[in-house]
Chain A
Amino acid sequence: QVQLVESGGGLVKPGGSLRLSCAASGFTFSDYYMSWIRQAPGKGLEWVSYISSSGSTIYYADSVKGRFTISRDNAKNSLYLQMNSLRAEDTAVYYCSRGSGWIYFDSWGQGTLVTVSS
């Protein structure tokens, strides 16, 4: 079955960097576009970034544009999110999600918590 497993979260100081990873299995990763979606503690869902199946098309939310970089390695069935210049408001659980249609999210990982605090 479809499985998405995030890793790389943790505690980081404001201005610091972190790289999240998502390992995909149970489906042909290279056939699907992927996204990162986050959820601040006690809050709702916020779409963060999208990458097409080949990696040629990328979008970002305005709140992270210029600071975050999404990428993928289809040979390794992996999705990444490089997060730089982190702010307190980036504190959230980050979910890796598989896109379907154009575009809703039919599979989600369990999430990885990123805490930005001094």
Chain B
Amino acid sequence: EIVMTQSPATLSVSPGERATLSCRASQSVSSSLAWYQQKPGQAPRLLIHGASTRATGIPARFSGSGSGTEFTLTISSLQSEDFAVYYCQQYNNWPPCTFGQGTKLEIK
């Protein structure tokens, strides 16, 4: 089973600033990496798939990069609605597909 590790656990950033979230896989997952956003009391929402392809309707301020074992989600200019928990998920080698433990993005 591939283990996904996200860092940091909590990230404090001011509105308007850039946020950079990291996700590391225990072995290569090629570009089979997705990012999700989850707000309190809501279901997760797909942001990015294929490591860098934005899902339908996702604003351009969200971008994904990386391949192999190291991945990054960047939010270029944080809006109030972006403060949430973010999860990465690998789907290169499954079952099982596996999620990271999440990064909570909070207002500084």
A interface residue numbers (CB < 8 A to B): 44-47, 50, 59-62, 95, 100-111
Contacts and interface: CB of A to CB of B under 8 A. Distances in A.
Interface string B61-103: 0000000000000000000000000010101001111111110
Nearest to A62: B96
B45 A47 contact: no
B45 A108 contact: yes
Given A44-B100, A95-B43, A104 B89 contact: yes
B34 A104 contact: yes
Contacts of A110: 42-43
7 closest Cβ pairs, A-B complex: A108-B43, A104-B34, A59-B95, A45-B99, A104-B49, A44-B101, A106-B46
A101 B96 CA distance: 15
Given A44-B102, A45-B44, A107-B46, 18 more contacts: A44-B99, A45-B87, A45-B89, A46-B99, A59-B94, A59-B96, A61-B96, A100-B49, A101-B49, A101-B91, A103-B94, A103-B97, A104-B34, A104-B49, A105-B44, A105-B89, A106-B46, A108-B44
Q: Give the dominant DSSP class at B's interface.
A: loop
A33 B49 CA distance: 17
A30 B97 CA distance: 22
Contacts of A111: 43
Contacts of A50: 95
A111 B45 CA distance: 13
A50 B97 CA distance: 10
A61 B62 CA distance: 31
Contacts of B50: 101
B19 to A, nearest CB: 19
A102 B99 CA distance: 15
Given A45-B44, A111-B43, A104 B91 contact: yes
Residue of A45, A50, A107, A109 with most chain B CB atoms under a 10 A cut-off = A45
Contact of B97 (A47, A60, A107, A108): A47
